[in-house]
Amino acid sequence: MKIKQLNIVGFGKLINKQVNLSDEMTLVFGVNEAGKSTMYHFIKTMLFGFPRKNASLQSYEPREQALFGGEMVVDHPVYGELTIKRFKTENKGKAIVVLANGSQADEAFLQDMLAPLNEELFDEVFRLDQNQLQSLASLSEENLQKQLLNIGLVGSKKLVEFQENNLKLADQVYRPRGKNPKLNQQLEEYEGLKQQLVQKENEEKVYQKKLFDRDNLMDEINEAQLFLQEERQLTDKLGRRINHFDDWLRFAELKSEVEKIEIDLDDETLGMYHKAYQKYQILDEQERRLTEEQLLHSAKTDSEELAYYLNNEEQFRQYQQDRSLVESFARDVEQLKRSLADKQEEIATLKNHLKIEDIEESFYPENKGLKEIQALAVRELKLQKNYQEQRERERDLLQQKEKAVATELEVRQVSAPVDYKYLYGAFAFSILALGFSMIIKMKWFALAFGLLGLGLLGYFLYQFFGKKETEDPQQELLALLDQQMTKNSDWLTNLDQEAYKIKVEKQAYAGIYQFNQEKTAEQWLDEINLRERLFDMQVTTQEMIESIAENEKYLEDYLANHSWLVERFGVKVSEMPAKLSEVTNHIHLMQQKQQQYLLENSDTYQIFDSLKNARQQRKTLINQFRPRLQQYGMTTFEELPAFIKKQEAQQLAKNQLEHQQRLITPNFNPEATYDLEQLTAKQAEQATKIKALEQQLKDKQEAYDALNYAIERMEEDSSLAELYQMEANLRGEINSVQDEWIVHKLVAQLSQDIQDVMGSEQLPQLLNVCSDYFNDLTLGNYQYCLFEKGQLVAQHAKGKKFTLSELSTGTKDQLYMSMRLAFLTIHSDDRLAPLLIDDSWLHYDYQRKIALFKALHKLSRHVQVICFSSDITLKEFAETYQVDMLNL
C-alpha cells in the first residue's frame, strides 16, 4: 500500500493542509515543532483510528474551530486507489472508505484490507526513529544477537521480548535448583507432607486393612441381599404355581384340544353354514310333503312305469341333458379298446422281432445312452478294421518269411562248404616249394610255385568273403521280418485288450437295454428306429389304458350317482351304448303317456309342477353348496349338523383357552410344561436354601458391624484425614501453578520454534540483502553480514570477522539499520505500508548520513519512503537527487 495524498482538515497545528506524496521517496522538511511528528500521527490515525484519551499521550485535537480529522488517499494492491475519511465527531470516529467505483465501506472493511498490518506492527516495522537506535546500547551480546535476527526475520523485536518475558515468568514460577519460586516452595512442602502421610499410614496399616475388609464385606452383603431377594421371589413364584396348578392343568387340556383342531371356521363362515342348512331343511320338508301328495295322485294311474316317471321326472330330464356326453364317453371307450388291441398286437410282433424279453424294463436308450452306444459302434468298427489290417499284414509277413527261408536254403545248397585243411596244405606246400626253388636258384620253379600260391590265396579269399556277402542280406531280411512280426503281434495283443473292453461295455448296455450281445453295436443302432417305434407305442398304449380307465371311471361314477339306470334298466359300462338307447326310447314313450295323462287329470298338474320346482330349488342349493361341503370332507347336507356342532364346540374351547391363558400367565409360561411333584420338591429345596442364605447374611452383617465399630474407634483420631485433606489441597495448588509454568515454557518454546523455522527459510536471503546495505552504509569497510556457529558476525573488507560486541556503536547502528532495510526489501511485494523515518541519523557524520540517504533512496525503488527531518544535509541530498520534498 502506498500513500498518495494527505488532506488534513484539522490535526494538531496542521489545519486545511493538502500534501501529495511520491510513490518512491518523499522528504518532509521542517524545523523543530513544525509538525513533522503531527503528520506521522495523522497518517497513523487515518489507518487505525483516534487513540483513547490518556493524560500521558499528546492530544492532537486542533485548538481552532476545525474538524478533528481529515482524508488520506492510498493505492492498495487489491482495491486500487481509495480514500480513507475519518473525523472525530462523525460516525463515532470510525473510518469511511470510498472505493474507486464510488461505493463506501466501513471500519471493518478497512481493518480487513490492512491485515495483517495493525497499529503495533506499524510502529515496530514501518517506523524508524532515534529512540530505537538508542535502545541498542544497553543490550548484552546475546540479546543484541536475538534482537537483530528477529528484526531481520520478523521485522520486530516483539517476538524476542515476548519469548524472554515468558521465560522470565516461568523462572518466577519454578527453577530446577531454585528455592524462592512458588512451585519450588510448594514441592518442598508437598514432599514433607508426603513423608508425614507415609509415617502415619505405616502406623495405621491395620486401619487401611480394615477399611479394605469392610468395603469387601459390604459388597458381599449387597450381593447376598440381592441373591436372597431373587431366591425369595423364585420361592413365591413356586408357591403361586402350586396354588394355581389346577388352572394350568385346565389350560394344558384346552391347549391340547385346540392343537388337534384341523378345521377352524370364523363366525361369519359358520353362520353361512347355519343358514344354508336351515334353507335345506325347509326345501326338504316341502319336497317330502309334495311327494306324499303326488303319490296319492300317482296311485290313480294304471301304469307303474308312468307313475315312476312322473315321480322322478327331474332325474329323467337331467339324464337327457347328460346323455350326449355320456354316450360320447362310452363311444370313446369302445374305440380306444379297439385301438388298444391293435397296438398290443403290433407291440407283441416288434417285441418278438427284437428279442425283448420284458417290455416293462428299459429297452430304448435316450440322449446320453444313445450317444454312448454310437461311440461304442465307432470303436467296434474301427477295431474290426484294425483286426483285418493286422491279420492281412501277419499273412504277408509269414509269406515273406517263407520265401526268405527258402532262398537261404538254396544259397546254402549252391555254395557247399570248402574243406579248408586241404587248401591250407596246398598253400603251405606252394610256399615251401617257392622257398626251396629260391634256395637252389631255380627261377622257373620259383615262379611256378609262386603263381600257384597266389592262386590258392585268391581262391581262399573268394570263398571266405563271397560266402559272407551272400549270407548277410538273407540274415538281415529274416531279422527284420521277425521284428515286424513281433510288432504286429503286440498290435494284435492291444487289439485283443480293446476288444475285451468293448465286450464288457456291450454286456453292460445289453443288460440295461436288452440288446442281443451276439450282434454288433452298429446292428444295435439299426434297431434304434424299431425300438423307438416300440417305445412310442408303449407310451401310447399306456396313455390309451389310462384314458380308458378315466372314461370308465367317469361312467362308473355316473352310474353310481344315477343308480336308477342300473336298477330299472340294467345299464352296464360294458354295454352302455345299447342300454342308453333303450333308456332314451323309454323316456320318449313316457313323455307321450305323460301328455295324455295330464290332459285327462289336469287337476293334479299343479302338484307335479310344485314338486318339480321344490326339487329344482333343493338341487340348486345342493349344487351351489357342494364345493363347500367337499372342502371339509362332507358329501350331503345331513352331515352339516354334526359339523356345525363340532365347530361351535371348538370355538368355545378356543375362547376358554384364551381366558385360561390370561389367568395363568402371571405365574406360568404358556409354552413350558410343569409337574406338581417337581414344583413341590423345588419349593422345599428353595426353603432350605433361603434359610441357609439368611444365616449367611446374618453372619456377614454381624461381622460388618463389628468391623465398622472398630474403624469408627480408630477414626476418632482425625490426624490422618486432615493430612489427606491437606495433601489433596496442596496437590491441587501444585497442579494449578504447574499448569501456569507449563504454559509459559510452551509459549517460549513456540516462539523459539517460530524463529528457527523462519531462520531456516529466510536467513540466507536476509543475510545477502543485509550485506548489500551494510556494505553501502559502512562505505565499503564491511562487506558481509554472516551467521556462523549460531552467531551474527561482520566481515571487514580486509577479511577479518568481528562479533557484535567487538563492533563500535555506530557500526552496530548501521547493522541494525541494514537489518531493518533488508526486511522491508524482502517483503516489499506484500506492500503493507510505507516506511516512515523521523531523524534517525542526527548523530551520524556527513559521510554516514549520505550513505544512509543513498540506502533509503535505493530502498524507495521497492518500498515507499517518507522522511521527516530537519537535517540540512538531507535537504541538500534531496535537491541533488531530485527527491520530492515538502517544506513545513
DSSP run (H or E) holding 85: strand 80-87
Helix (H) or strand (E) holding 865: strand 865-869
Residue 178 to residue 64: CA distance in whole angstroms: 61
Per-residue pLDDT, 481: 76
Q: Does the pLDDT at position 812 exceed 70?
A: yes
CATH number among 3.20.20.80, 3.20.20.140, 3.40.50.300, 1.50.10.20, domain 1-126+832-888: 3.40.50.300
- Which of helix, strand or coil describes residue 516? coil
3-state secondary structure 352-376: HHHCCCCCCCCCCCCCHHHHHHHHH
How far apart are the C-alpha atoms of 206 and 185, rounded to whole Å? 33
Label residue 7 by pLDDT band (50, 70, 90).
very high
The phi, psi pair for 626, rounded to 5°, reads -60, -45
pLDDT tens, residue by residue, 579-593: 777 788 888 887 777
pLDDT band at residue 152 under the 50/70/90 scheme: very low
Q: Looking at the predicted structure, is the pLDDT value of residue 441 above 70?
A: no
31, 833 Cβ separation under 8 angstroms: no
70-98 average pLDDT score: 92
Give CA angle at 34 (30, 36), nearest 5°.
Answer: 75
Q: Which grid cell is 521?
A: 453295436
Average pLDDT of the residues in 554-582: 79
Is residue 449 very low, low, confident or very high in pLDDT (cuts 50, 70, 90)? low
Comparison of pLDDT for 94 and 324, the residue scoring more? 94
On whether the CB atoms of residues 115 and 42 are closer than 8 A, the answer is no
In percent, the amount of the chain with pLDDT more than 70 equals 75
> Residue 430: pLDDT band by 50, 70, 90 thresholds?
low
Q: What is the pLDDT of residue 429?
A: 61
| Distance from C-alpha of 786 to C-alpha of 795, rounded to nearest angstrom | 7
Residue 84 predicted with pLDDT over 90: yes
pLDDT at position 433:
60
Q: Compute the distance between CA of residue 251 and CA of residue 271 in angstroms, rounded to an integer.
A: 28
What's the half-sphere exposure (Cβ side, CA atoms, 13 Å) at 775? 14
Instruction: Give tens-digit pLDDT for 861-878.
Output: 889 999 988 888 888 888
Q: Give the model's confidence band at 72: pLDDT under 50 very low, under 70 low, under 90 confident, else very high.
A: very high
* 73 DSSP β-pair partners: 5, 83
CA geometry: angle 625, 627, 629, nearest 5 deg: 70
Rounded to the nearest integer, the mean pLDDT of the chain is 77
Q: What is the DSSP letter of 30?
A: -
Task: Tell me how far the alpha carbon of residue 210 is from its chain's centroid.
Answer: 56
Is the omega angle on the peptide bond into residue 51 within 30 degrees of 0, that is, cis? no
User: Which is more confident, 367 or 402?
Assistant: 402
| pLDDT range class, residue 451, cuts 50, 70, 90 | low
- pLDDT of 883 above 70: yes
User: Residue 352 has what pLDDT?
Assistant: 75
Please tell me the predicted confidence (pLDDT) of residue 139.
43
Residue 151 pLDDT: 47
| CA pair distance 866, 28, nearest whole angstrom | 7
- Quickly count helices (H) and strands (E) in the chain: 25, 14
The SS3 assignment for 201 reads helix
CB neighbours of residue 802 within 10 Å? 14
Give the SS3 label for residue 601: coil
Could you tell me which residues are beta bridge partners of residue 11?
Answer: 14
- With cut-offs at 50, 70 and 90, classify the pLDDT of residue 153: very low
Say which range, 82-96, 148-162, 228-242, 663-677, has the weakest mean pLDDT.
Answer: 148-162
The predicted structure's pLDDT at residue 70: 94
Distance in angstroms (rounded) separating the CA atoms of residues 805 and 803 = 5
Residue 391 has pLDDT above 80, yes or no: yes
- State the residue for C-alpha cell 470516529: 93
Q: Is the pLDDT of residue 466 over 70?
A: no
In order of 53, 147, 764, 863, the CA distances from 826 in angstroms are 37, 18, 11, 10
Q: Is the pLDDT of residue 171 over 90?
A: no
Please list, residue by residue across 445-479, b when 16 or more beta carbons sit within 10 angstroms of its beta carbon and e when fewer do. ebeebbebbeebeeebeeeeeeeeeeeeebeebbe
As a whole number of angstroms, the distance between CA 692 and CA 680 comes to 19
Integer Cα distance of 48 and 136 in angstroms: 28
Predicted pLDDT of residue 18: 92
Average the pLDDT over 683-696 and give the result: 90
* Rounded CA separation 70/768 (Å): 41
Q: Determine contact, residues 114/126, Cβ cutoff 8 Å.
A: no
Give me the mean pLDDT over the 285-297 stretch: 66
Inter-residue contact 136 to 810 (CB < 8 Å):
no
What residue segments make up the domains of the chain, in order of their start? 1-126+832-888, 268-299+603-666, 301-339+529-600, 368-510
Q: Phi/psi zone of residue 33: left (φ > 0), alpha (ψ -120 to 50 degrees), beta?
A: left
The C-alpha cell 478497512 sits at 110
Q: What is the CA radius of gyration of the chain?
A: 69
Among 145-149, 549-553, 586-590, the minimum mean pLDDT is found in 145-149
- Mean pLDDT is lowest, of 9-13, 26-30, 241-245, 617-621, for 617-621
Q: Which of 226-235, 567-576, 764-773 has the highest mean pLDDT?
A: 226-235
pLDDT at 96 over 90: yes
Question: Which pLDDT does position 20 carry in this prediction?
Answer: 92
* Range among 304-313, 609-618, 818-827 with highest mean pLDDT value: 818-827
With a cut of 80, say whether residue 630 has pLDDT above it: no
Q: Please, which residues bridge with residue 3 across strands?
A: 74
| Residue 877 CB contacts under 8 Å (≥ 6 apart), including other chains | 849, 850, 853, 883
SS (H, E, C) 722-780: HHHHHHHHHHHHHHHHHHHHHHHHHHHHHHHHHHHHHHHHHHHHHHHHHHHHHHHHCCC
More confident call, 704 vs 475:
704
The cell numbers describing 35, all together, are 509538525
Q: Each residue of 700-732: pLDDT tens digit?
A: 899 889 888 877 776 665 566 676 777 777 777
Query: 530: closest CA among 355, 367, 396?
Result: 355
Which has the closest alpha carbon to 763: 151, 159, 126? 151
CB neighbour list of residue 445: distance below 8 Å, 6 or more residues apart = 433, 436, 437
3-class DSSP state of 558? helix
pLDDT at 573 over 60: yes
pLDDT band at 55 (very low <50, low <70, confident <90, very high): very low
pLDDT greater than 50 at residue 412: yes
Tell me the pTM.
0.37
CB burial of residue 138 (10 Å; 0-12, 13-18, 19+): exposed
Q: What integer pLDDT is reported at residue 436 of this predicted model?
A: 58
Whether residue 141 is predicted with pLDDT greater than 50 in this model: the reply is no
C-alpha dihedral over 724, 728, 731, 736, to 10 degrees? -170
Q: Are strands 69-76 and 25-29 parallel, antiparallel or unpaired?
A: unpaired
The DSSP symbol for 76 reads: E
Q: Model confidence over 746-787: pLDDT tens digits? A: 655 555 554 554 445 567 777 888 888 888 888 888 988 887
Proportion of the chain above pLDDT 90, given as a percent: 7
Confidence of residue 94 (pLDDT cuts 50, 70, 90): very high
What average pLDDT does the segment 619-624 reach?
A: 77
For residue 664, the SS3 value is helix
